[in-house]
Structure 1
Amino acid sequence: MFDDFWTASRYSPLHQRRLGDRLRDFRPQPELIDPLELPSAPVPLPRPQDRLQKLFQARRSTREFSGKPLTDKQLGTVLGALSDNSCPSAGGLNPLRCYAFVHDRAVRYDIRRHALQDIGPAPANLAEILGTPEVPPLTIILVLTDKDSFEKYGERAGRFGLIEVGAAAQSICLRLAEQKLGGCLLGGVADSEMLHALGLPRELRVATAIACGHMIT
């Protein structure tokens, strides 16, 4: 059943165009009262003022980047957010895999070894596959290889995989903020086209992509 959900929510360039039309025409209705609000008076809590909170506040979501490329040190720092067991994984199965497009190349990031493996040139239509106006200086692709997870946990493995991807994406975005870089989670990547661009089998899942780069000042 999770495969049915994934198939139903899969995107292609046609879906991307339809989404653009839908977003253009969408007009949210203002909510005057939160339907889940309780009648009791809220009790304020003290706000944190530590370094982590400042890092949260420094996060910037943007799709517009300067042309300045990331240095190898910055690239290692950002991708290193996934190393050292920093993300929870159900049963320690670690279905998460990481790929990237950087310097006009497609690469595989080996999380365990903290190293890159070259795949080949980035496709000429990468921006179309990503659903972005331009190709970002760095694009991180998070992929799930979750066959073992489903064999162990059944349908619940679908949720566990998405939890793991969400934790990984948050770690990457906090690293971007720490490096004074911008980033944006891309929810409209063309699934099959992305797998093809990375030389991956079609049964894998493109969970999300993150566009990264130096912000325009």
Structure 2
Amino acid sequence: RTSIHGEALLLRNDAGAPACNDCHGNHAAMPPGVSSIGRVCFQCHPAEGELFIASPHKRAFDEVGEAECSFCHGNHAINILSDEDIGVDDGSICIQCHGEGDAGYQAAAAIKAAMLRLSQDYQEAKTLIDDAEKKGVEVSDEQFKLDEVGHSLINVRKLIHAFNPDTINTQVKEVMIAAEEVHLAGVQAIAEVKNRRSGFLVFTLVSVLLVLVILVKIRRMEKR
């Protein structure tokens, strides 16, 4: 009930979310064995499955008889992982198997660094665009581009299942270019807001001065 699948099915009434029989079958009601857990998950997550099968983790997991998806995501709980769960910091999943100095440890650190850079760029761009929109600037085109960056970020996160820093870095660089373009558009939008305010202030001051000049002239005319 508390898993991402349970919330989708029971709280959001998502008919496409998996229920018990999607994984366990209708009659046997037996948990899938270690060798079949991945195949069950891959039915709904084929892209992640293909990446994992081609990754070095597939062979390593098979050699030690470790369940594939459930090792990181859990089984019935189906943990929702974030960028904080990868890497080599305390509490990350990667350091459960990888120690400082081995190739996997270095790869995990590189993947985490790349993901954090991209996430930070996306959040900064989003903050600027949202701020500009609240202040009345037309940013629908920029918002569309920002949404594309957000979708690309999700796709890059899927690539983590390949456990290949080079592949991830290549994709991250491409998405970061788009994120930087949106960021620049956001900076320009905020500058436009400031220019509008400055222009309005100047207009107001000039208007006040004109009114004062007119009032002075009217009083002089009245005295005559």
Q: TM-score, normalised by structure 1?
A: 0.23
Q: TM-score, normalised by structure 2?
A: 0.22
Larger Rg: 2
Structure with higher helix content: 2
Structure with higher strand content: 1
